[in-house]
Amino acid sequence: MISDRQYTEEELLPLSGLQHYAYCRRQWALIHVEQQWQENLLTMEGNILHERAHDAAFIEKRDTLLITRSMPLVSLTLGVTGKADVVEFNRVEDAANAVKLPKRKGWWQPRPVEYKRGKPKTTNIDRVQLCAQAMCLEEMMGISIPEGDIFYWEVRAREQVVINEALRAEVVAIARDMHNMFDNGETPSAKYGPNCRRCSLRDICVPKLGTSRSVEAYLRQAIR
Ligand code: SF4
């Protein structure tokens, strides 16, 4: 289920926002619509890990494996842009779902790898971001990407993620809703839930008030 719409470069939204959205729609809107952002320990840890993963944009060779870091990604169909922590290219025998690489012989199959702190989750919060990365690579390279990995630092292990139709549909729906909210300047109401306790924006969101006002309106009234 891919939309027919093609977004322009000016309309692109950060791919990393899919994870915020999957955590909480309001959190996404506070960050991306209202441009509000508060760093707490959790986000700082996340940033440091990403800085490490984005350390160098070079290719390392390990026999039949090439690794690229910080690869720029874009999908005009989803209307998102961002960077992949790591994309691995595995050398394969035939051209199916593979690409040619400059100055390299043979065919190479890309596999996105996302780095996360913590451990594998029961929800799709992390998987939607990986899936969006895979969909960007597919659009950029004109191939299909059936799988990717999420590496979790806490358990030092990879979760293999199948890029299936259900996950793709979730990504398409999130991207569409993100664009609708962004275009309408909409911030959903706060609803107190289990995610609020660890949310980096809870102090400005004040979820227990159940407010439907934007943070700007809330602050204005508080100042008055
Ligand atoms: S505090 Fe709760 S409702 Fe508010 S943005 Fe965070 S997760 Fe969403």
Q: Mean pLDDT score of the chain, rounded to an integer?
A: 85
pLDDT of residue 56: 42
Q: Which of 25, 27, 125 to mutate to test the pocket of ligand 1 (most atoms within 8 A of CB)?
A: 27
pTM: 0.85
pLDDT of residue 9: 87
Examine the pLDDT at 98 and tell me if it is beyond 60. yes
pLDDT of residue 103: 80
| Span from the CA of 40 to the centroid of ligand 1 (angstroms) | 14
- Band of pLDDT at residue 63, cut at 50, 70 and 90: confident
Q: How many helices (H) and strands (E) does the chain have?
A: 7, 7
* 3 touches ligand 1 (CB under 6 Å): no
Sign of the alpha-carbon torsion through 32, 134, 170, 23: negative
- Residue with token string 């939607």: 128
| Closest among 89, 97, 78 to 13, alpha carbons compared | 78
Show the domains of the chain with their CATH numbers: 9-187 (3.90.320.10)
Give the model confidence (pLDDT) of 141-185 as tens digits: 999 999 999 999 999 999 999 999 999 999 999 999 999 999 998
- Residue with token string 């050398």: 91
| Span from the CA of 102 to the centroid of ligand 1 (angstroms) | 45
* 215 touches ligand 1 (CB under 6 Å): no
